[in-house]
């Protein structure tokens, strides 16, 4: 999907769940693995948990469904 010349209103305060740990057998789209989970061989790290927390490496969402993450640049 391409959107040309579209104005986008950026709103603060979204309250949502965002993660990269879905079961690949239950989704029909490609999904990258969280680099922090991959390094630690776990599935405990999530980008954002509704009403709970936001990962310190999470930098937002870009169109369409791209997670901006700074984990690999942490050092």
pLDDT of residue 75: 65
Question: Do 48 and 16 touch, CB atoms closer than 8 A?
Answer: yes
53-65 tens-digit pLDDT: 999 999 988 888 8
pTM value surpassing 0.75: no
DSSP code string of 21-72: ---GGG-SS--PPPHHHHHHT-S---SEETTTEE-TTEEEEETTTEEEE-GG
Classified as helix, coil or strand, 74 is coil
Query: How many whole angstroms separate alpha carbon 54 and alpha carbon 50?
Result: 9
User: What pLDDT was estimated at residue 14?
Assistant: 81
- pLDDT, averaged per 10 consecutive residues of the chain (75 residues), comes to 69 84 78 91 92 92 88 80
66-69/58-62 β-pairing: antiparallel
């Amino acid at each position: 999907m391409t959107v040309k010349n579209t104005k986008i209103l950026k709103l603060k305060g979204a309250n949502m769940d965002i993660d990269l740990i879905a079961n690949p057998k239950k989704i029909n789209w490609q999904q990258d693995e969280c680099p922090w989970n991959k390094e630690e061989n776990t599935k405990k790290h999530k980008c954002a948990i509704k009403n709970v927390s936001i990962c310190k490496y999470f930098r937002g969402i870009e169109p369409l469904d791209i997670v901006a993450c700074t984990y690999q640049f942490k050092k």
